[in-house]
Amino acid sequence: MHGSGFIKIFLIITAISLLFDWYVFAGLKTFTNNWQSSRLRNLVTFGYLVISVGVTLLFILGFNSFSTAKGMTPFHEWVLSIFLTFFFTKLFFILVLFLGDIVRFFYGIINNIVKPKGKVIKPFFPARRKFISEIAILVAAVPFTSFFYAMLKGKYDYRLHRETIYFDDLPDAFDGFTITQISDIHSGSFDNTEAVQRGIDMAKAQKSDLFVFTGDLVNNAAWEIEPYLSRFSQLKAPYGQFSILGNHDYGDYIHWDSEAEKAANLDKLKEHHKTLGYRLLLDENVVIEKDGQKLSLIGVQNWGRGFIQIGNLDKALEGVDKDAFKILLSHDPTHWEEKVRFNPTTIHLTLAGHTHGAQFGVETAHFRWSPVQYRYLDWAGLINEKNRYLYVNRGFGFLAFSGRLGIWPEITVITLKKKMA
């Protein structure tokens, strides 16, 4: 999106938020109308107005500083997150209030049409209005408390997801072989180092045979991972640690003074992968050998529908035996949808990330929903199409909204099993 288009959207959202404030203020005046203390009434109504408009002004100032910063910092994310919390809280309040106003409006019209001649009937009833305001407050409390939980607790509420996948042609030596995957660290967003360490410790505790990271180490700039190099370098596995780049790693979403500066940033990020002890796969492959048997681990640069598309699967497959058991690291699941699942070369398992599961949604044993499903067909978990598997990790970190609700940060452990004849 061009800068001018983003500014227009920003201004529209800001204007809508201020209009919401006017409507909520009117609803709160009705709610407090019969309170005896005028001081308390003013504290609730005007206090709300000062806080909510203040949050909008902070959002404007934060946006202004973001435009000159090298990427979105935790400060910018907190400002955006608090603004969104108030925005959706107001939206829920207004929806209830508006429905009540619509009912009263038509009730008043009907009563005036059918009223006895010469008799005056008031179309609106203050007691009902107060009741609707009370319901609106209760409904609005749901997004308000949920968003703050997501920001204060949810974004570091790491969850372990285990999958066992059976293959006919898995080499016998790899029966029971385990892989720990994390994805989308987005280190530039972190604001609690000890909480991040808890997630790292959870990944370490799995003691898997192989460790893989599937892209987006940073939000934009290489320096973002530097405070965490000693922590993520703790992730070791007997058969190695391997990584790929995600769309955010290329630095495409911020302004650079020159192409040389941008290229230097990417070079520095690649060096950080080495410091972490990760073998960065750039459209290439390596052989993992166990007890004299082998599998091929393939890594591509980012290729995503609607995002940067520089990953070259054909190049990455060069030298790979056509009969080899193949595992692909590819950041964006749309690469699997468009380039992998129908490829003449069978790739048994693809590990991806990118979607974050939108950091918001509902997942139960029998139902799951996230707004990200309207953008991505395959957005979380295991997908199988004719024994070509895709696993989409929900992400270790977070971006833009400094929180997670319902779609928690993930550490994945995959066990490869030989299917018995």
Do 71 and 178 lie in one domain? The reply is no
172 burial type by CB count under 10 A (0-12 exposed, 13-18 middle, 19+ buried): exposed
CB 214 within 8 Å of CB 244: yes
- 135, 152, 169: which is the final residue of a domain? 152
Do 122 and 66 lie in one domain? The reply is yes
Q: Is the pLDDT score of 111 beyond 80? A: no
Q: What is d(CA 221, CA 214) in angstroms, rounded to the nearest whole number?
A: 17
* Amino acid residing at 342: F
Q: What is d(CA 85, CA 72) in angstroms, rounded to the nearest whole number?
A: 18
Do 253 and 326 lie in one domain? The reply is yes
Do 26 and 140 lie in one domain? The reply is yes
Instruction: Please report which confidence band the pLDDT of residue 55 belongs to, taking 50, 70 and 90 as the band edges.
Output: very high
Residue in 263, 303, 264, 267 with CA at minimum distance from that of residue 283? 303
Do 363 and 220 lie in one domain? The reply is yes
At 69 the pLDDT is 60
Do 333 and 217 lie in one domain? The reply is yes
Residue in 244, 233, 239, 243 with CA at minimum distance from that of residue 177? 239
322: domain CATH number? 3.60.21.10
Identify the weakest region by mean pLDDT among 36-50, 74-88, 90-104, 212-226: 90-104
The SS3 of residue 381 is strand
* CA distances in angstroms from 272 to 72, 149, 164, 389, listed in the order given: 20, 33, 32, 30
Which range scores top for mean pLDDT: 67-71, 81-85, 111-115, 342-346? 81-85
Residue carrying structure tokens 């070079």: 267
- 104, 134, 152: which is the final residue of a domain? 152
Q: Cα dihedral sign for 45, 149, 83, 363?
A: negative
CB 302 within 8 Å of CB 310: yes
At 1 the pLDDT is 46
Share of the chain above pLDDT 70, in %: 91
Mean pLDDT of 380-387: 95
Do 222 and 137 lie in one domain? The reply is no
Instruction: Please report which confidence band the pLDDT of residue 157 belongs to, taking 50, 70 and 90 as the band edges.
Output: very high
Do 196 and 97 lie in one domain? The reply is no
CB 376 within 8 Å of CB 360: no
* Amino acid residing at 35: W
Q: Is the pLDDT score of 264 beyond 60? A: yes
Contacts of 152 (CB under 8 A, 6+ apart): 403
Half-sphere exposure of 374 (CA within 13 A, CB side): 3
Beta strands at 368-369 and 362-363: parallel, antiparallel or unpaired: antiparallel
Do 29 and 79 lie in one domain? The reply is yes
Do 90 and 124 lie in one domain? The reply is yes
Do 177 and 69 lie in one domain? The reply is no
b/e per residue 117-143 (b: at least 16 CB within 10 A):
eeeeeeeeeeeebbebbeebbeebeeb
Instruction: Please report which confidence band the pLDDT of residue 120 belongs to, taking 50, 70 and 90 as the band edges.
Output: low
Can you say how many angstroms the Cα of residue 221 is from the centroid of all Cα atoms in its chain? 19
Q: What is d(CA 8, CA 133) in angstroms, rounded to the nearest whole number?
A: 32
Do 185 and 120 lie in one domain? The reply is no
159 burial type by CB count under 10 A (0-12 exposed, 13-18 middle, 19+ buried): middle
Contacts of 60 (CB under 8 A, 6+ apart): 14
342 burial type by CB count under 10 A (0-12 exposed, 13-18 middle, 19+ buried): exposed
**Mean pLDDT over all residues of the chain?**
91
CA-derived radius of gyration, the chain: 26
The 10s digit of each residue's pLDDT in 287-328 is: 999 999 999 999 999 999 999 999 999 999 999 999 999 999
Q: What is d(CA 58, CA 64) in angstroms, rounded to the nearest whole number?
A: 10
Instruction: Please report which confidence band the pLDDT of residue 124 belongs to, taking 50, 70 and 90 as the band edges.
Output: very low
DSSP category for residue 227: G
Number of residues in the chain: 421
Mean pLDDT of 388-401: 97
| Domains in the chain, number | 2
* Amino acid residing at 151: M
Record the tokens describing residue 126, joined without a space.
């203050």
* CA distances in angstroms from 204 to 15, 123, 350, listed in the order given: 47, 67, 22
- 152, 173, 203: which is the final residue of a domain? 152
Domain that holds residue 202: 158-418
